Chain A
Amino acid sequence: MDLFEARNITKNFADHQALCDVSMTVPEKSIYGLLGPNGAGKTTLIRIINQITAPDKGEILLNNRRLRSADIHRIGYMPEERGLYKKMKVGEQALYLGRLKGLDKKTAVKRLKHWFEKFEIQAWWDKKVEELSKGMQQKVQFIITILHEPELLIFDEPFSGFDPINTNLLKNEITGLRERGATIIFSTHNMASVEELCDHITLINNAKAIISGPVHNIRQKFKLDIYRIGFEGDAEKLHNILNHDYEVLELTGSSAGYTARIRINRQSTDNLLLKLLMPHFHITSFTEEIPGMNDIFINLVNRQKTGVNQ
């Protein structure tokens, strides 16, 4: 079932178009990646979801119902540019922001105590925010985001500025949140984290959604039919065996063992390739190269760029 749906969202600013007919569907209890280069319109989309700005066209559905202002309590948002009142005490501030999200004081205090204990930051309660390091502030910010236990969590660039230890902590918390039933949308440039965490993605470039779907499908879709084959035997024979249906891109190694990257043209299949090779070589490994999100991202964005230029 889908928790969230954006339908044909368009948003124009005075001098540029931030979003053009963007749609996306986020299944319940999934982690959804919102990708795109800087200035693509991700933050605008996120602000529209948070009802900070309104779209010019299109609609946002939550549980198949049009998003209403009361739904603010069902959404948790951690902006890219994180900030807190510098002069305000940590505990007081977390309490204030939690209550603004509709929590009553008692519940907010109880949950804050729990999270502060879990992150081992109880000692910070009465400290002013400006006394904390950036990493510390981000922990506080994370707690504030999830305190009202929203169904939908939106993290804008959650890993930027976190050190590796805190990044890991955050990753664990995000997957933990999903296990407890939350749905998470996050925008990021960090493609490794996309492959690691996301079930689905949408790639936005130049205000348009250029690709959308499950991460696995997208990677499959963009594979280039390149196989990496480890073998032992006479490497010289390789070129003679393979006809024009195959292209050897790379051949490395020594008599102890070779690795070849071979592209298969449309007419052939991986099984046929194996059949061709098996009589001549001892095959030690055979894997299909599936492109990383990073390559797909760069590929798509560049392809669009050249398209625009033409």
Chain B
Amino acid sequence: MQKKSSLIIAREYLSRVRKKSFIIMTLIGPLLFAAIIIGPMWFATLEDREVRIIAVVDSSKLFIDKIPETEYLKFEYLENTTVDQIREDFSETHYYAVLYIAHIITSAPSAVQLMSDRQPSLNIRMHIANAIEKELERQKLATYNIDNLEQILATIKTNVNIRTIIWQDDGGEKESHSELAMITGYIGGFLIYFFIFLFGAQVMRGVIEEKSSRVVEIIVSSVRPFQLMLGKIVGIGLVGLTQFLLWVVLSFTLVVLAQQIFFPDLGTPSSETVVPEDLFSSSTLHQSQPIGPDDSGRIAEIFSSISAINFGVMLGAFIFYFLGGYLLYASLFASIGSAVDSETDTQQFMLPITIPLILSIIVMMNAIMNPEGPIAFWFSIIPFTSPIIMMARIPFGVPIWEVTLSGGLLVGTFILTTWLAGKIYRTGILMYGKRVNYRELWKWIRYSS
């Protein structure tokens, strides 16, 4: 009996792992994940390489040569000319935009204007606004005639970064990153949702395939129907696990690799070290201008907070909740597959499966905002939604008793659903050409073997 189960599992597993679609998915997944992680960082550093020159018409004469230039942003201060004159043949000039500063500079919107024949980028606007604010502040401060103003300003410059610390029961402390916990929770929950649907549907399709090709009758003359169902569920579950672990390993490799290529300086503690300009343009930006926090520092922070996630716990929780959720739903998917003759007939039975899953996704949005709230709590205990919701809560830290309760209920429920599904399956796989409804299914469940 044992041998036959392993034969079935092996067939289900190998026939899927060897498919082209599996190999493609396995390769594309990590690329996507790596792109999600690396992409925003890379874009953050990806400045325009085009040198833009902005004509400044400064009626107040307060800001001449005061706006800091960057490698790609230059300012030309024009005197004895008006905006209208420039506008006349603007397209012939080499200017990207014209900056007009009024006589009396107040906070009125028309006091400073940036004009162009296209939409000036947000970065440039912020850069200019920042520079003008700073310069105005400096000039206002200067009117107080304070000695050593420059030094005082340099010393009072502060940068506040709030760190959130979670007190552990054992007296220790743990640094938390709530944004990151949200993101990880979201990704974890969503992945479980995705995997349950993907592999649950594969179980259903597999059952329908066996039923419609009639091979099932030969197989159940060799093994018990329940054994076949379980073998299929386990085999496909292992495919899912394989895919997930390959994704983790490949994504990790890719992220590390990308980190080495795109941000080679992150390994060293000082990001001030000389960096080739063509590779990392933002560091020159940082050297030449005081505005904005250190970009590479921010990236380093992201990396350090990613490494602060307890990957061991996350991985363990993911595998447990994926398997629990998958087993719960896969047996239901299998019983649906057995009850119908073709995939088009599955619609009416899919609803009870789809609703808790989709509800989970909706509740998950709430759960990552308020992981301790009653909604998050109850839905992470109820077995049909707990795999997704609990997974989303795990990165925030969940009391052991809650995880134990939710895990225990999940295991108990999947044993129950598998048992019920087995009864439907046993009758369904040999039933052809019959319109099956819920009453019929209930009858099948009550059949004594």
Contact = CB atoms under 8 A, between A and B. Distances in A.
Interface of A: 14, 47, 50-54, 69, 72, 75, 77-79, 81-88, 96-97, 99-101, 144
B125 interface: no
Interface string B210-254: 100111111111111100000000000000000000000000000
B291 interface: no
Given A81-B214, A87-B15, A97-B219, 16 more contacts: A50-B221, A51-B221, A52-B220, A52-B221, A52-B225, A69-B224, A75-B221, A78-B218, A79-B217, A79-B218, A81-B432, A84-B218, A85-B209, A97-B218, A97-B222, A100-B4
B213 A83 contact: yes
Contact of B213 (A51, A54, A86): A86
Contact of B214 (A75, A83, A87, A101): A83
Q: Which of B213, B217, B220, B221 counts the most A-chain CB atoms under 10 A from its CB?
A: B221
Contacts of A144: 218
Contacts of A101: 222
B11 interface: yes
Interface residues of B, number: 25
A79 B213 CA distance: 12
Contacts of A50: 221
B222 A52 contact: no
Contacts of B224: 69
Contacts of B430: 47, 52-53
Nearest to B4: A100
A231 B222 CA distance: 60
Given A52-B430, A100-B4, A100-B7, A83 B215 contact: yes
Nearest to A76: B221
B217 A52 contact: yes
Binding site of A, secondary structure by majority: helix, strand, loop or mixed? loop
Binding site of B, secondary structure by majority: helix, strand, loop or mixed? helix
Contacts of A100: 4, 7-8, 219, 222-223
A242 B410 CA distance: 89
B449 interface: yes
Nearest to B427: A53
Contacts of A78: 218
A96 B218 contact: no
A90 to B, nearest CB: 13
B298 interface: no
A88 B213 CA distance: 12
Contact of A88 (B7, B15, B216, B220): B15
Nearest to B11: A96
Nearest to B446: A14
Contacts of A85: 15, 209-210, 213, 215
B66 interface: no
A14 B222 CA distance: 26
Contacts of B223: 100
A96 B220 contact: no
Contacts of B217: 52, 77, 79, 81, 83
Contacts of B8: 100
B443 interface: yes
Nearest to A79: B217
A107 to B, nearest CB: 14
Contacts of A69: 224
Contact of A77 (B7, B221, B447): B221
Q: Which of B209, B218, B449 counts the most A-chain CB atoms under 10 A from its CB?
A: B218
Interface string B172-185: 00000000000000
Nearest to A86: B213
A47 B11 CA distance: 25
5 contacts: A51-B221, A52-B220, A96-B11, A97-B222, A101-B222
B270 to A, nearest CB: 58
A86 B209 CA distance: 9
Q: Which of A51, A72, A75, A100 counts the most B-chain CB atoms under 10 A from its CB?
A: A100
A51 B219 CA distance: 12
A75 B221 CA distance: 9
Contacts of B214: 79, 81-83
Contacts of B225: 52
A75 B214 CA distance: 19
A101 to B, nearest CB: 5
B99 to A, nearest CB: 67
Q: Sort A-B residue pairs by CB-CB distance and give the 8 closest, nearest first.
A: A83-B214, A100-B222, A83-B213, A81-B214, A79-B217, A50-B221, A83-B215, A77-B221
Contacts of B15: 85, 87-88
Contacts of A83: 213-218
B278 to A, nearest CB: 52
A53 to B, nearest CB: 7
B342 to A, nearest CB: 14
Contact of A84 (B4, B11, B213, B222): B213
Contacts of A54: 449
A84 B212 CA distance: 10
A96 B7 contact: yes
B448 to A, nearest CB: 9
Contacts of A79: 214, 217-218, 221
A118 to B, nearest CB: 21
Contacts of B449: 54
Contacts of B218: 77-79, 83-84, 97, 144
A181 B444 CA distance: 40
Nearest to B429: A52
Contacts of A72: 221-222
A240 to B, nearest CB: 62
